[in-house]
Amino acid sequence: MFDTKGADDAIVVLRGASVEHRYDTDFELPFRQESRFWYLTGVSEPDYSAIFVPKTGEFHLFAPKRETSYAVWNGRIRSQEEIQELYRPDVLHNSDALQSVLDDLAPTRIFAGAEEELSALGVVAPEGCAIDHRSVVDILTLCRLHKTDGELERMRFANQANSAAHEAVLRSVRPGAWEYQMKGVLEGTLMQHGLQFPAYNGIYASGTNSAILHYVVNHQEMSDGELFLIDSGYEFEGYGADLTRTWPVNGVFSDVQREMYSIVLEMQKNTIDATRPGVKMEDLHWLACRTLLEGLLDGGYVKGSVDDLMAQNIFALFFPHGLGHFIGLDVHDPGGYPKGVDRIDRPGVRFLRIRREMESGMALTIEPGLYMIPALLGPAFEDPIQSGFLNRSKLEPLLHFGGIRIEDNLVVNDSESGHENLTSLVKEIDEIEAIMKDAKGVRG
Ligand SMILES: [Mn+2]
């Protein structure tokens, strides 16, 4: 895949991540290896770098030379034998050998992970050597599209642990509790499973906050009659889960909450059922939109035909984000758009993070939602065309309803169903209510 024409002596140079600090202080942020480096080397500690030689298949690993002070302040210094055993490079070097190894290999072309890769490593390319900053990124993106068995094992475990932690939160949700306390329950449970690192900034949103798509303030007391939306996941060995559920704070769905929740559950079931090799993500998104509009039509919240409502982008007033994204070492794993494929320039679907045909081995989220967002519905009520499709008298009382999202993680495969759902967390209304009732009984 590398363009090595006339450059048989091309090499790949990659720099692993270093510890970063909070602004201008010595406060160290938790270390997280850069995903491409982690994917290729398996190294999840700071200050490593690597050279790959495509012609011979050789993997050179460069380990940082730790000073004695490291052993005092940071941790035990690994022996060369230990590093060799852990990461199994063909040749293990100290990082101060990088320049001399580079000079000995005398490449005429270097594939580097980023523009500043070589200068950040403190080395210079041999004179006349061409440097390509794009190909490694593009190729690794293609590799990461299809998960290996080892990756899937980690993703399954991440999903099991995160599902268990979400259920612990489900048992803790009640009027008078605070959003951040639910974060504490989730994190505490995940730590017990050994998952220490969030895959993204979690959302713990009650009431109207649940209609703010990336609400991360998490600082509100939860009230009787409101919904609570949790969208949070932690990583296991780099592989995250990305799960969302929405529950009634008081343990029982009100009539309108039940009605809206059922629409989202239907959107999710329809699209999960259709997820299989060969299907296009944008078609799954359209299916979710049509299911949404059918539900809203049934309830009398909108007027007209599904086709007309689709044509007028009414779906995007209630479901303004994409149906899902790839997931793996990054929560928004790369590769959603093949080269030359652009975003669809329409409300809602323009935020879709995948426009690809599904293939066996791809891992993705399916996360439809339904929100009452005053910033979208207000202007639509005044819009001469869109207002004609909206039943304002039924929608206006719901402006403070909040929102609902249900999100599972799937792997596309060649089985009869076309996929494996990694997420084992309750989502049926009666299951949710039964668990919340049981938890209430336990709490007393
Ligand atoms: Mn997601």
Residues 138 and 161 in one domain: no
Q: Ligand 1 centre from 243 Cα, in Å? A: 7
Q: Is the pLDDT of residue 153 over 70?
A: yes
Q: Ligand 1 centre from 159 Cα, in Å? A: 13
pLDDT at 5: 52
Q: Is residue 392 part of a domain?
A: yes
Residues 135 and 156 in one domain: no
pLDDT-derived band at 414 (thresholds 50, 70, 90) equals: very high
In 242-356, the DSSP E strands lie at 243-248
Task: Show which of 96, 125, 144 is a domain's final residue.
Answer: 144
Q: Is residue 3 part of a domain?
A: no
Residues 393 and 283 in one domain: yes
Tell me the average pLDDT across 12-37. 96
Summarised one tens digit per residue, pLDDT across range 36-48 is 999 999 999 999 9
Cα 39 from Cα 41, distance rounded (Å): 6
pLDDT at 443: 85
Q: Is the pLDDT of residue 114 over 90?
A: no
Q: Ligand 1 centre from 36 Cα, in Å? A: 20
Tell me the average pLDDT across 187-203. 96
Q: Is residue 44 part of a domain?
A: yes
Summarised one tens digit per residue, pLDDT across range 391-400 is 999 999 999 9
Tell me the average pLDDT across 333-358. 95
Q: Is the pLDDT of residue 337 over 90?
A: yes
What tokens appear for 80 in the block? 């060369």
Residues 139 and 158 in one domain: no
Task: Show which of 144, 178, 193 is a domain's final residue.
Answer: 144
Mean pLDDT of the residues in the chain: 96
- Strand, coil or helix: 277: coil
Cα 363 from Cα 155, distance rounded (Å): 9
Q: Is the pLDDT of residue 29 over 80?
A: yes
Torsion of CA 330, 326, 406, 205, to 10 degrees: 30
Please name the residue that has the structure tokens 């293939």: 359
Q: What percent of the chain has pLDDT over 70?
A: 98
How many domains does the chain contain in total? 2
pLDDT at 3: 53
Cα 380 from Cα 315, distance rounded (Å): 12
Q: Ligand 1 centre from 229 Cα, in Å? A: 13
Task: Show which of 111, 126, 144 is a domain's final residue.
Answer: 144
Q: Is residue 23 part of a domain?
A: yes
Q: Ligand 1 centre from 313 Cα, in Å? A: 22
Tell me the average pLDDT across 97-126. 93
Phi first, then psi, for residue 174 (nearest 5°) are -165, 155
What is the value of pTM for the model shown?
0.96
Tell me the average pLDDT across 242-259. 98
Residues 101 and 191 in one domain: no
Q: What residues form DSSP beta bridges with 333?
A: none
Contact (Cβ atoms closer than 8 angstroms) between residue 244 and residue 229: yes
pLDDT at 336: 96
Q: Is residue 299 part of a domain?
A: yes
Please name the residue that has the structure tokens 């891992």: 363
Residues 200 and 346 in one domain: yes
In 169-320, the DSSP E strands lie at 197-198, 203-206, 227-232, 234-236, 239-240, 243-248
What tokens appear for 230 in the block? 């949790």
Q: Ligand 1 centre from 365 Cα, in Å? A: 6
Q: Ligand 1 centre from 322 Cα, in Å? A: 9
Q: Is the pLDDT of residue 2 over 60?
A: no
Q: Ligand 1 centre from 242 Cα, in Å? A: 5
Positions annotated as catalytic residues are 26, 214, 231, 242, 321, 325, 332, 367, 371, 405, 407
Domain around 132: 11-144
Q: Ligand 1 centre from 324 Cα, in Å? A: 6
Q: Ligand 1 centre from 121 Cα, in Å? A: 34
pLDDT at 113: 86
Q: Ligand 1 centre from 370 Cα, in Å? A: 15
Residues 217 and 97 in one domain: no
User: What is the domain-level CATH number for residue 426?
Assistant: 3.90.230.10
Cα 339 from Cα 141, distance rounded (Å): 11
Residues 265 and 334 in one domain: yes
pLDDT at 30: 94
Contact (Cβ atoms closer than 8 angstroms) between residue 130 and residue 110: yes
User: What is the domain-level CATH number for residue 54?
Assistant: 3.40.350.10
Residues 285 and 173 in one domain: yes
Residues 249 and 336 in one domain: yes
Summarised one tens digit per residue, pLDDT across range 360-374 is 999 999 999 999 999
Summarised one tens digit per residue, pLDDT across range 277-302 is 999 999 999 999 999 999 999 999 99
Phi first, then psi, for residue 443 (nearest 5°) are -70, -30
Residues 242 and 363 in one domain: yes
Residues 33 and 109 in one domain: yes
